[in-house]
Amino acid sequence: MPNTPIMTVANLHKTYGKAGSKQYEALKGIDFTVNEGEFVGIMGASGSGKTTLLNMLATLDQPTSGEVTIHQQPITHLKGNQLADFRAKEIGFIFQDFNLLETMTAYENIALPLTLQNVAMKQIKPAVENVASQLGIAEFLTNYPNELSGGQKQRVAAARALINQPAMLFGDEPTGALDSSSARELLDLFSKINREQAVSILLVTHDPFSASYCQRILFIKDGRIGQELKRGDLPRKDFYQQILDTLGTFEQ
């Protein structure tokens, strides 16, 4: 459904360091909503708070105050089994450096979220084969990570993130370690998956080319959202230029 929120972020604050010691306020009140099926980008200079924000949204860290709701579930105070279940069902995460387990094959890496939930082998196999074929890595399933290129590794990581059919896919600079043609391939796959499977995507990047694949971009500076850009019907190349122009004025 269009314009149905899948994630809401309300007055999110994050201060690093304990009271009484040296503290740093990395997020100073962040508010925004992501709708079902949206592909949203977060841009900002190094140190602006992008990774901090993404880690709060993806339940990898807890905010100092504020609330995040995903699929009607408030997530900031989830703990233990509830947190593990929520992550397994609703969230996929892709990192810049792939985070694949080197001692496991591509197949075993992709299957891991299901293996950890004790899903039956006979259900795992078709699920892995299905997501691997969507991401164009079906022929590499028996390879170990060190036998794959960067682009192939990131597609294995994407398959692992998507195998649970999460509501939200988060990426922290997922193209940061890729050459430009592998980056383009991955971004095209994100767009396809976003369109065809209604997975909502939140991509953190400082790269204008990656950001040009998004439908909407939030610009963050010193822990606050300072500007928003919507692509609308603009061709990607024109949106790319608009992003460059915005960065030119925003980062001053």
Ligand X SMILES: Nc1ncnc2c1ncn2[C@@H]1O[C@H](COP(=O)(O)OP(=O)(O)O)[C@@H](O)[C@H]1O
46 forms part of the interface with ligand X (CB under 6 A): yes
DSSP H stretches of helix in 207-251: 208-211, 236-250
152 forms part of the interface with Mg ion (CB under 5 A): no
Strands 65-70 and 39-43: unpaired
93 forms part of the interface with ligand X (CB under 6 A): no
Q: Which does 86 bind (CB under 5 to 8 A by kind): ligand X, Mg ion, none?
A: none
Between CA 100 and CA 156 the distance in angstroms is 8
Strands 5-16 and 65-70: antiparallel
Q: Which residues pair with 202 in a beta bridge?
A: 40, 170
50 forms part of the interface with ligand X (CB under 6 A): yes
Q: Which two tokens stand for residue 60?
A: 């990898």
Q: Which of 47, 74, 226, 235 binds ligand X (CB under 6 A)?
A: 47
155 forms part of the interface with ligand X (CB under 6 A): no
175 forms part of the interface with ligand X (CB under 6 A): no
Contact 12, 220 (CB under 8 A): no
Window 47-76: residues binding Mg ion (CB under 5 A): 50-51
Between CA 91 and CA 49 the distance in angstroms is 20
User: Cβ closer to ligand X: 51 or 134?
Assistant: 51
16 forms part of the interface with ligand X (CB under 6 A): yes
The maximal CA–CA distance of the chain, rounded, in angstroms, is: 56
How near is the Cβ of 64 to ligand X at its closest, in Å? 12
Q: Which does 144 bind (CB under 5 to 8 A by kind): Mg ion, ligand X, none?
A: none
C-alpha angle 156-162-165 in degrees, rounded to nearest 5: 160
99 forms part of the interface with ligand X (CB under 6 A): no
Question: Position of tokens 């508010």?
Answer: 31
Q: Which does 37 bind (CB under 5 to 8 A by kind): Mg ion, ligand X, none?
A: none
- Which residues of this chain interact with ligand X, rule CB under 6 A? 16, 24, 26, 44, 46-52
- Which residues of this chain interact with Mg ion, rule CB under 5 A? 50-51
